[in-house]
Structure 1
Amino acid sequence: MSLTTGAYSNAIINVTNLRLRTFIGFNPDEREKQQDVVINIEIHYPADKSFQTDNVADALNYKVITKKVIQHVEEGRFLLLEKLVADVVDICSEHPSVTLAKVTIDKPHALRFADSVSLSLEHRR
């Protein structure tokens, strides 16, 4: 049985370990030099039309979304991880066909004895 004749309709796009640098934090040293962040994105959308037509215009363009995320993160300054994560969720939810966007951002080396600190948020439509 082909996917185009089955009952499949939801697609999940995962962007895994997008590594960027930004100004994040409220301590003086954090406000003066960029830090690494690691972003993981999960986006759900109905893909029934795209896999039936095999037309790019019918699919959600993850490259466009990722470019917006990169620009926003690299050009921004954030005091709180919560603000950064919320902004990225908003970017990932802009397209009207997105039914769920979940974002987790890790801030490596934020705590002395931990690999990273992370925060996750999601938006459902």
Structure 2
Amino acid sequence: AYSLLLQYNQRELHKLRQKSADFDRNSVSRTYQFRENVVVMRMLFKMAGPFFTTMIPAFVFYVLYISLPKTEESEFVRMFSAAMFDWWIGIVCCLFGLLFPFSDVRFRRVAIRTPIFRSLQQSK
């Protein structure tokens, strides 16, 4: 579904670019919207690989939680795995939420105006 939506946006953007120079305000805004859709979707696609790679430990914690028997001896490990799963999901989501604006030049220019992203950029 994601790739179909990306192809649709790219196709519509191409159609709008092929029109004559007679643009009204509606076609200009549609062109801008399709361009932004394509940029965001490419950026999300670029971040998908690292995101799923960093989610491997969460998957391991979940498998450990469901595979251990529900006995008193393994209860601590099961609950620790559940807690680590929750913690890991939170850490990864915060990390990627902070890294999202730096994955594309357009968003980086806007993000650098905010204090938190400016301090992150300067700490590199």
- Greater share of helix residues, 1 or 2? 2
Q: Which has the higher contact order (CA 8 A, sep 6+)?
A: 1
- Greater share of strand residues, 1 or 2? 1
What TM-score do you get using the length of structure 1 for normalisation?
0.30
What TM-score do you get using the length of structure 2 for normalisation?
0.30
Larger Rg: 2
